[in-house]
Structure formats: C-alpha cells, structure tokens
Amino acid sequence: MRIKVYDTPQRAAHALAAYLSRAIARTPDLVLGLPTGRTPIPLYRELAALGKRRDIDFSRVTTFNLDEFRGKGDGDQGSYRAFMQEHLFRHVNLMPRNVHFLNGRAEDIRAECERYERAIVRAGGIDLQILGLGANGHIGFNEPGRRLIARTHCTRLTAPTRAANAAFFDGDVRKVPRQALSMGMVTILHARRIVMLATGSGKARCVARMVNGPLTTEVPASFLQVHRQLDVLLDRAAAKYLR
C-alpha cells in the first residue's frame, strides 16, 4: 500500500487527475472503475477541465460505476447515473456504449447483477478502480456487518449511509432509497490497480482502521490491505490519525 498525503482535497484531486491522464495516455482503452459521492467531485471537475482542453482522451476508455440505488435508473433524479452525467460524462468524450452502469430499476435484480459481472469480464476486467470511503468503512455499498458479499449484489443500506447520502436527495433522508446494487468485495479486489481517495476529518478514524487495523467485516475497506497495487490518496485532515 502506498499512502500519499496532500495539503488539501483539491491537491489530492489534482494529483489523481494527472495520474489518470497519464494512465489513459499509456493505455487508451483503459477499463476504469468509478465512484460517486462528494469526495470525487473535485476530481471530476479536474477531469472535465482536462477534457475541455482536449488534454485527456476518453474516446476508447470503458467505465464501470461501482453502485446504484435500487429503484433508480438512467435519467432518474437522485440516481448515481445522473450524478455521473452531471459531474463527468457530459464533459468528456466517453462513448455512451462504453459507459456501464447497474440499472437499479431492473425487475430481475439478480439477473442484473449477473449481467454486470459478465460485462466486466467481457471488458477484460477493471484495470484501475477509483474508490471513495464511507465514513463507516464501506466501499461501493459493501456495508459493515457480519459478512461481506463477494460479487455484485443488492444490499440494504445502513442508517448512517442513508444519512450521508441525504445531500443527494434535497437533504431529506426519507427520500434516500433503502437498498442499492453494488459491486461486491471480490469484484472490487480483482481490479488490477486501486486508488482510494479519502478527504476530510470525518474519514480520519476510518482511514486509520483501514490502514492499520485488522481485516474485519466491520470495516470493509480493511480488506484493501490484501491488494498489491493500492494507492491511498489523502488530505491532511483524513490522515491525522495515521501512525
């Protein structure tokens, strides 16, 4: 695990955008795993700016987003699909057919999850997975609990996670869906390279447990310790409890 600490969230986002732009220049058909949440917004802003200046070329890149709310799909307000459209997709030259998303509106949820796993395999697997960190230690929507699910699945969201997502639903936690579809722990850990971006003091305790703690289903992100190609990008606030 390589850990890098930046002065501000903006600097961390800037460094990751530069890293991504080098990765795509080297491998134009990169398969990229993407997160949502507040943390990656400065990153997407940087990528949008690079895209506008044609300093990054997404034309052959394939993307897979980590997760989606159950009941939400393309065009739905509050969907992660809409979030990505607003913050990244409409600003860069990704081909719509290369953008992959879980459809939270699918009738047969199990078939939808299997479809997603197959699509990832067909794309050759994820080359580079970018992750955010839930304040309770979740990655994607792999929530803390007695067990973790290996593959893409439908999950019940914990109260803190629904509260953290209320910002995307007019600040009203009652509007946040109770379930979501998410890549599983193994789906994520099979990415060839993982970059975790975590910023702000609200993540500091969790970052310390993820980096120095035991592997435990109570902190799903702790399982990232087994990955050989993991970079953790932090700002000072998120790094404050690291030894």
Q: Is 138 designated active site?
A: yes
Q: Is 100 designated active site?
A: no
Among 11, 38, 192, 236, binds ligand GLP (CB under 6 A): 38
Residue 34, CA distances (Å) to 15, 24, 44, 163, 195 in order:
16, 14, 10, 22, 10
Catalytic residue among 127, 143, 231, 235: 143
Q: Pick between residue 35 and residue 104 the one whose CB is nearest to ligand GLP.
A: 35
Q: Is 67 designated active site?
A: yes
Single-letter amino acid, residue 236: R
Among 140, 144, 184, 220, binds ligand GLP (CB under 6 A): 140
Compose the 41-70 pattern: x for residues touching ligand GLP by CB under 6 A, - for all others.
-------------------------xx---
Task: Give the nearest distance from C-beta 55 to ligand GLP in angstroms.
Answer: 25
Distance of alpha carbon 243 from alpha carbon 8, whole angstroms: 19
Closest CA to 116 of 129, 106, 101: 101
Q: Pick between residue 51 and residue 134 the one whose CB is nearest to ligand GLP.
A: 134
What part of residues 150-209 is at the interface with ligand GLP (CB under 6 A)?
A: 161, 164-165
Among 33, 42, 104, 134, binds ligand GLP (CB under 6 A): 134
Q: Pick between residue 51 and residue 132 the one whose CB is nearest to ligand GLP.
A: 132
Provide CB contacts within 8 A for 29, sequence distance 6+.
60, 61, 62
Catalytic residue among 67, 112, 231, 235: 67
Among 9, 33, 37, 137, binds ligand GLP (CB under 6 A): 37
Q: Is 91 designated active site?
A: no
Distance of alpha carbon 132 from alpha carbon 39, whole angstroms: 7
When asked if residue 35 is in the footprint of ligand GLP (CB under 6 A), the reply is: yes
Q: Of the ranges 100-108, 122-130, 134-142, 219-227, which one interacts with ligand GLP (CB under 6 A)?
A: 134-142
Task: Give the nearest distance from C-beta 156 to ligand GLP in angstroms.
Answer: 13
| Residues of the shown chain interacting with ligand GLP in the complex, contacts defined by CB under 6 A | 35-39, 66-67, 132-134, 140-141, 161, 164-165
Active site residues: 67, 136, 138, 143
